[in-house]
Amino acid sequence: MDVISVIRTKRDRGELSPEQIDWVIDAYTRGVVADEQMSALAMAILLNGMNRTEIARWTAAMIASGERMNFDALSRPTADKHSTGGVGDKITLPLAPLVAACGAAVPQLSGRGLGHTGGTLDKLESIPGWRALLSNEEMMHVLDTTGAVICAAGDGLAPADKKLYALRDVTGTVEAIPLIASSIMSKKIAEGTGSLVLDVKVGTGAFMKNLADAQELAHTMVGLGTDSGVKTVALITDMSTPLGLTAGNALEVRESVEVLAGGGPSDVVELTIALAKEMLDAAGIKDADPAKALADGSAMDHWRRMIAAQGGDPDATLPVAREQHVVIAPESGVLTRLDAYGVGVAAWRLGAGRARKEDPVQAGAGVELHAKPGDMVTAGQPLMTLHTDTPERFDYALASLAGTYDIATAGTAFSATSIILDRIA
C-alpha cells in the first residue's frame, strides 16, 4: 500500500477500499504518511466526497487508532453534546454544569477553534489555572465528583483525529462533511458516552451554509452513532447571526457565567435549555427542569465545582484585552442583519483564533456586540466593540466587517427566525 495510490483514487473520484482506509489512517498516525500528503487526500475528500460505507470505515479506523473509554462505573447515566461550530457558540460552558445539576453525568470532550469558529478549550483556558489536559483517571474523578467535565481528548483517544483535526484547520478542508462527521463521531464513540446530542449549525457563520448540507451531516452522524450503540439525536440550529453578544474567549466565558447566574442573552438561554432537555431525555431522565436549575443556582454551583476541580479559579478576574475599538452605527433605524461569518472572521483576526495550528490565541481578544437584528439603533451609537492586545490588527478586522450588517428605516418590519430549524433522530 502506498499513499500516492490512495490520493489518486479519491482524486479521480473513486471509492477507497476498506484496506486503503485502514492503512492510510494507521500510517498517518504513525508518521509514515506526511502532513502534506494527508492534506492532499483531505482536499480530494472535500472536493469529491465519500459514500456512507467509506465514512463508516474511516470513522472505525480513527477509533481503532487509540483506546476506548468506559463510564459503566458511574452511578449516573451519561450524556454528551457536540456542536459543529459557530460564532459566539459558548453553549457547552453553561450546558454541561446545567445537565449535571439535573442528574446526568456529562463527559464533554471538546476541541480548539477551527477557522473562524471558536474553540471551547480556548475559551475555558482564559480562566486562570484551568487545565484542559487531564489523564483518564483525572477525568473520571472530576466527572464522578462534580457531574461534569470539559477537557481535551487524551492522546490515547482517537489519536488519528487529533492530528487530522489540526491539519484541517490550516489547509482549507474544515468543511468536508465526511471529515467533520468522522472527526466528531470517532471521538464521541471512543469516549464511551451512553447518549449524544448534536448541535449542527447552519448559516453564514457555520461550516454548513445551507439546510440540505446540514441535514446530510446530521443524518450521517446520527447513523454513525446509532449503529455504534450510542443513542444519538441532532438539532439543526441557525448560525446566520452570532449567538449571544460576544465572540472571543474570555468574553464568552463572562457571558456564560451570566447565563448560569440566571441572566444572559435570550438566544443563548433558549438554546442551552433546549439542548439540556434533549440530553436529559436521551439519558432517560424525564422529571428534571433545566430552567429551574438555572434559576435556583444549582447549575452555577456545579460550574464552580467543575472549574475548581480542573485547577481553575471561578472567582478570578478574567483577562481583558489592552486595546478596544468601537464601531458605531452610521445611521438610525432597525438593525435587520448581522452576518455571523464576518463577526467570526473579525474575532479571529483580532487574535481570538489561530492561522497556524501552533499559534497561541489571545484570551481577551474578540468582538462584543451592542445590538442584534431587530434592535433599534441610533446614528453614532456603538454597534460593536473590538478587543485585542495588538492594535495593528484593527484595520484587518474592520475589513472583514465591511458589509456585514444592514440598517433599515425605523418602522421596517422585522421577523425573527427560530433558532432550532430541524430535529433528526
Residues marked active site are found at: 82, 161, 168, 183, 187
H-state helical runs in 86-158 = 92-101, 120-124, 136-146
Query: Could you give the CA distance from residue 79 to residue 217 in angstroms, rounded to a whole number?
Result: 20
The answer to whether the beta carbons of residues 237 and 273 sit under 8 Å apart is no
Q: Are the CB atoms for 91 and 244 separated by under 8 Å?
A: no
Q: DSSP secondary-structure letter at 200? A: E
Other C-beta atoms closer than 10 Å to the C-beta of 278 total: 24
Q: Within its chain, how far is the Cα of 32 from the centroid?
A: 30
- What is the distance between the alpha carbons of residues 229 and 340, in angstroms, rounded to a whole number? 35
CA–CA dist 350, 365 (Å, integer): 6
CB hemisphere CA count around 153 (13 angstroms): 29
Instruction: Give every strand in the sheet of 195-202, ordered side by side.
Output: 80-83, 195-202, 231-238, 420-424
Contact 104, 314 (CB under 8 A): no
Cβ contact 114:85 at 8 Å: yes
Specify which residues 369 forms β-bridges with. Answer: 384
Residue 56, φ and ψ in degrees, nearest 5: -60, -40
| Residue 311 DSSP code | T
Distance CA 76, CA 127 (A): 28
